[in-house]
Amino acid sequence: MSGLLLVFLVVLIFVVLYQVSRSSEIVAQIQGEEAFDKKRNKILGYSMLVLFAAFMIGIVWCHQYMMPLMGPEAASDHGQQYDFMFEVTLWVTGSVFLLTQFLLFWFSFKYKRVGNKTPHFFAHSTKLELIWTSIPAIAMAVLVAIGLKAWFTMTDKAPKGAMQIEIIGKQFNWISRYPGPDMELGKKYYTNINEKDNILGLDWKDKATKDDIIIPNGELRFVKGKPVELIIGSRDVIHDVGLSHFRMKMDAVPGISSRLWFTPLFTTEEMKSKTGNPNFVYELSCDQMCGKGHYSMRAIIIVETQAEHDAWLAKQQSYYVQNHPDEFPAPAAEPVKTDSTKK
């Protein structure tokens, strides 16, 4: 019932508006169309100036409101490159934006019709057109050059000694896998998957799988200053590893393994003091539409020092051991070797 009333109200407002605005047509007829149009055109001409001023003030105001809400600086080396490029691109596009928007509104105001005048027949100028073809071309060349330089660094092979971690998406959570003491991620195949004791489908015939550590909630632990390479995959549909603080992202595609590497620059603790937010946490978000739980596909990333990382690793049990307790008399006898840096 209230819905009907609302519809009725909206229609009523429209009808009133329409009737009121028809009266302007009547006023026009009384004043004479020509004079009325002239007056209106002048008002609208000035309104272009007002609109431009409001536009610019709005932008400044929006900027002031938004900046305190924005995250901290990029937390990875590639991210810092991104931040630099973003700034350059912003300066280029920002100046073009201001110039062209200003001209658009200024011309609209300046050249509003005030009466009949002989039109300025200006249909062509090779010189002008060459200028504004070549200037954007040069600007583009610069942006492409710095862009590709950064792009090829980011997508180059990961440096030797980079930590390898596998991150696998599934509806609707992440699973991470660490190589264990042998520094090697063992083979896996999707037909081996079962939810009970082999969530990634590791191939137990491959010895390298035996010491692999699986974290079912996808928690990622990086070491500050140490390059990390993510081996990305998916169990079902396409997901995307979105690392907004590191300014990186890569799709997780079933049947294909994609990679991404970077060097984290700040530990989680450092970020807490940097942002002044005691709850700060690096988050991994799924950035590719993957179904109804897409928005909840979150994993935590912890960046820590080497010592903290080693201590954490020491406490982990390999996935094989966890799931085959009978082969390893309790308590888990063989502590996983931890010092992965010295190999």
Partner 1 sequence: MSNEATLHTHDVHAHDHGHEHGHDEHEHHEQHFFSKYIFSMDHKIISRQFLITGIFWAIVGGLMSVFFRLQLGFPEQTFKVLSAFLGDWAKNGKMDPEMYYGLTTIHGTVLVFFVLTGGLSGTFSNFLIPLQIGARDMASPFLNMLSFWFFAVAGVVMFGSLFITTGPASGGWTTYPPLSALKEASMGSGLGMDLWLISMALFVVSSLLGGINYIVTILNMRTKGMTMTRLPLTIWAFLFTAVLGVLSFPVLLSAAVLLLFDRHAGTSFYLSEIFMAGKALPNVGGSPILYQHLFWFLGHPEVYIIMLPAMGMASEILSTHSRKPIFGYLAMVLSIMGITVLAFLVWAHHMFVTGMSPFLGGVFVLLTLLIAIPSAVKVFNWLTTIWKGNIRFTVPMLFALGFVSLFISGGLTGLFLGNSALDIHLHDTYFVIAHFHIVMGISAFFGMFAGIYHWYPKMYGRFMNNTLGYIHFFVTFIGSYVIFWPMHYEGVAGMPRRYYDFSAWESFKQFGELNQMISIAAIIVFFAQLLFVFNYFVSIWKGKKVTDPNPWQANSLEWTTPIKPGHGNWDGPIPEVHRWAYDYKDNGEGGDFIPQHIPLKDGEESH
Contacts (CB under 8 A) with partner 1, residues 231-260? 232, 235-238, 240, 242, 244-245, 247-251, 253-256, 258-259
Shortest Cβ 251–partner 1 spacing (Å):
5
Which range in 3-11, 214-222, 306-314, 316-324 contacts partner 1 by CB under 8 A? 3-11
Shortest Cβ 342–partner 1 spacing (Å):
32
Contact positions with partner 1 (CB under 8 A) in 125-184: 125, 128-129, 132-133, 135-137, 139-140, 143-144, 147-148, 150-152, 154-156, 170-171
Residue 101 is a binding residue for partner 1 (CB under 8 A): yes
271 vs 289: CA distance, rounded Å? 29
Residue 295 is a binding residue for partner 1 (CB under 8 A): yes
Shortest Cβ 167–partner 1 spacing (Å):
13
Of 126 and 315, nearer to partner 1 (C-beta) is 126
Which range in 67-75, 222-230, 326-334, 335-343 contacts partner 1 by CB under 8 A? 67-75
- Give CA separation, 263 vs 74, 154, 299, 300, in Å: 11, 11, 19, 17
Contact positions with partner 1 (CB under 8 A) in 198-227: 201
Cβ–Cβ under 8 Å, residues 212 and 316: no
- 């699986």: which residue's tokens? 214
Cβ–Cβ under 8 Å, residues 200 and 189: no
CA dihedral 280→282→285→287, nearest 10 degrees, is 110
Cβ–Cβ under 8 Å, residues 253 and 237: no
Query: CB atoms < 10 A from the CB of 314, how many?
Result: 12
Cβ–Cβ under 8 Å, residues 264 and 284: no
Q: What number of chain residues touch partner 1 (CB under 8 A)?
A: 123
Amino acid (1-letter code) at residue 138: I
Q: Which helix (H) or strand (E) holds 44?
A: helix 33-66
Residue 71 is a binding residue for partner 1 (CB under 8 A): yes
Of 25 and 197, nearer to partner 1 (C-beta) is 25
Of 165 and 232, nearer to partner 1 (C-beta) is 232
